[in-house]
Amino acid sequence: MPQIFPKKANALPLLSIGGALVGGVLLIFLVWYYFSPEFTVVGYQPEQPVPYSHQLHAGQLGMDCRYCHNWVENSKHANVPPTQTCMNCHNQIKTQSPKLVEVRESWAKDQPIEWVKVHHLPDYAHFSHAAHVKSGVGCETCHGRIDKMGEEGVYQAEPLSMGWCLECHRQPELYLRPNEEVTTMGYVQPADFVDRNLERIRAEGIQPPTNCSACHY
């Protein structure tokens, strides 16, 4: 019986297997890269019920983050301010502004404003704002330049992924700042900041954990 396929066809199974392996590895890489938080959550910017401008309040007016988020130094959560905090100023300033209708109604009805959460962490990940703030981690390190985010709302500036967190935990001397500068936006580290941070780490015994059980339990 004459041979139907040429001898070079014998290489097709090997080429098919090789192609499948290469394609599989490439697919895994693409999923790992493009499905990472850098692509799936960075830039997330939900519409909020009130067009609140951090650019105005934290930027132009220079309000300290802790005036509104006053739990950050003592709690693992950075609280969303109650309407009372808004009305401390707005019962006298821009009292008839149409942009503040939701705020005034919230105050009159004694019902909270339904702000939309921007930064989400998995339920299996533990994070404490207090522990980080007290150690000198600046607000902008995780949340970006909040003072430049206008009425369109806050967006997620960093991935908040495990790998991203571990970068800081492994080399905290590259990220810490004096506690009095924690809320400063656009903070510029001094030339000797690494040496200063290393001294602080030794003096205060700052040891960011890198073991799994530190954040997952």
pLDDT, tens digit (0-9, with 9 covering 90-100), for 37-64: 555 689 999 999 999 999 999 999 999 9
Sketch the domain layout of the chain as residue ranges: 16-80+117-208, 86-114
The overall pTM is greater than 0.85: no
> Is the separation of the CB atoms in 106 and 81 below 8 Å?
no
Task: Give the model confidence (pLDDT) of 152-192 as tens digits.
Answer: 999 999 999 999 999 999 999 999 999 999 999 999 999 99
